Amino acid sequence: MVLLQISEPGQSPEPHQRRRAVGIDLGTTNSLVATVRSGTPETLPDDKDCHLLPSVVHYAADGTVTVGHDAQSRATEDTLNTLASIKRFMGRGTADVKMLGSQLPYELVAGDSGMPNFRTVAGHVSPVAASAEILRVLADRAESALDGPLDGAVITVPAYFDEAQRQATKDAATLAGIKVLRLLNEPTAAAVAYGLDQGGEGIIAVYDLGGGTFDISILRLSHGVFEVLATGGDSALGGDDFDHAIAEWCCEQAGLGTNLDPGQQRQLMAVARQAKETLADQVEIGITVSGWQGRLDRETLNRLADPLIEKTLRACRRTLRDAELTPKDISAVVMVGGSTRMLRVREVVAETFSREPMVDIDPDCVVAIGAAIQADVLVGNKPGDEMLLLDVIPLSLGLETMGGLMEKIIHRNTTIPVAKAQDFTTYKDGQTAMAIHVLQGERELISDCRSLARFELRGIPPMVAGAAKIRVKFQVDADGLLNVSAKELNSGVEAHIEVKPSYGLNDEEVTRMLRESYTHARDDMQLRALREQQVEADRLYEDLSSAMSQDGRTLLNDKEYHCLEVALADLKQVRDSTSHREIARHIEMVSKTSEEFAARRMNASIKKALAGHSLDELDRDI
């Protein structure tokens, strides 16, 4: 008797067509590609079994482009045409990197995109084009290993990358023919690799010491959402600096001096790097350099490394201060980058944070592995509830502002989980409460959007209009649950509500709302501009009327008072006009007419505050 195959639990009877997805760590020094096979994430090697691909590109006069180890070997003999550390130029303007021009072995020229281009024998090359060459090699490696074209990739970027740098990374992937499923922050990818996104809540520090840079990121994990609290580091500190320290020690011990030719320098740096890596497993190693033989032990290495490690710790302390945290607040420390293999680095980090860092996953590979795990989910290979990561916000989420306008906080098609915040303020003097109206939709007026929930923030200290600072935070977790909170930052009063934003609308309703937003886009924008001017007109009318009732008769003569009355009357009459430009013109007119009155009120307030005080008293107060 044979068994009749039905299906795996949760799977269809049809053979499972697994999609090919990868995670790519596009690094400053080295890059990697990883995937998930048989449920296990792994990095993919080239045909020489090398997993790390040096992020180096060489351009030859005949148009040949070489990437990786072969390009790296040409760095000394053909410096101007061998590009390294390309990531530092991504999304940067020519002015941003102009100061580095004399320090880098490249000829930089202004590019049409605003980014500097590299002058090579093959022509001008943009950072995007050079990065695309690296990504193309990684994609080819993955397609060879997976026996077919890729369905998508998650590419990692530093947490501090701004929108221009992220867009440049996307452009490089597009140029390489890669479909980007998502750009993932490198520290978040490292945390995902260790499964910390499944561990509830906590504060995570990601200590990333690479070949040429050091980054420290502080993340808060809440409801499956990673929020970057603070980032820091040193863009000119990395494993290469440790190698230089060892090389200088060797020169001193061997009496070689500093006048070494390029060949001797390369040999010395290679010996230093080998010694550093070996001392991670051994307590002592023999060294031979230019006929000199000596021994380097771990204690000496620690003495050479301590000043450099202390620089990373200073950056860690600064970043913790920026996040308003202490080392005791950190629940986990993740180590990233090959230089964190040094035992001294791990010891000092453990002492600083009072906990053992997480080092089970190869620090060179941990970011790529986290990206691969995320890509495997996003591409649709995970069954059941894990597919929730594929959800996106179908319609924008936001709140009502004055004039019945919809202010979007999280825009449609944003992948969840996600968290975003925006600051607002009060409209009237002495306002002690604020009504929060949560909405869903793409139109500009709340009457055309879907109401989700309402709640109130009470206990705001009475202040003049505009003085309060209310931070409204929207957070959508992996289950589609929307949590909206409002907090007055001066007093700390807070309120929140939970709603299910993705429920209650079927696909047809979502499609209808989107179609209407496109059809009425021009009309909606004109209505929004009109409402905004009407709100400003109301605010100006109310403020000026109140001021005139208090001080108008004492600070203005009859003619001045009458002029302001007429200006206000005209503003009130035109307020209901259908032309936002006409309202704006009257607002400007009233503002100019009331400038002298405002100045007199300010002077009167200052005189009142100083009344009864002598200069001697003021000097003592100072």
Q: Residues with catalytic annotation? A: 25, 87, 186, 208
Distance of alpha carbon 235 from alpha carbon 393, whole angstroms: 36
Residue corresponding to tokens 């009072």: 354
| The three-state (H, E, C) secondary structure of 110-127, written as one string | ECCCCCEEEEECCEEECH
Q: Judge contact between 207 and 304, C-beta under 8 A.
A: no
Q: In 3D, which of 115, 116, 128, 189 has the Cα closest to residue 155?
A: 189
Distance of alpha carbon 393 from alpha carbon 75, whole angstroms: 47
H or E stretch including 83? Answer: strand 82-84
Structure-derived torsion over alpha carbons of residues 459, 461, 463, 466, reported in degrees to the nearest 10: -60
Q: Sort 559 into a burial class: Cβ within 10 Å, 0-12 / 13-18 / 19+.
A: exposed
Q: Which residues contact 97 (CB under 8 A, 6 or more apart)?
A: 88, 89, 108, 116
H or E stretch including 249? Answer: helix 239-254
Alpha helices (H) along 500-614 = 507-519, 521-547, 553-555, 558-574, 580-593, 595-610
178 — alpha (psi -120 to 50), left (phi > 0) or beta?
Answer: beta
H or E stretch including 169? Answer: helix 163-175
Distance of CA 192 to the CA centre of its chain: 16
The CB density around residue 303, as the number of other CB atoms within 10 Å, is 13
Q: In 3D, which of 499, 423, 419, 431 has the Cα closest to residue 459?
A: 431
For 264-326, the DSSP string reads: HHHHHHHHHHHHHHHTTT-SEEEEEETTEEEEEEHHHHHHHHHHHHHHHHHHHHHHHHHTT--
- Whether a cis peptide bond, with omega within 30° of 0, leads into 417 is yes
Residue corresponding to tokens 């004109």: 526
Distance of alpha carbon 179 from alpha carbon 151, whole angstroms: 7
Q: Sort 26 into a burial class: Cβ within 10 Å, 0-12 / 13-18 / 19+.
A: buried
| The three-state (H, E, C) secondary structure of 29-76, written as one string | CEEEEEEEECCEEEECCCCCCCCCEECEEEECCCCCEEECHHHHCCCC
- CA distance to 179, 225, 286, per residue, from 324 (Å): 38, 20, 46
Distance of alpha carbon 92 from alpha carbon 114, whole angstroms: 8
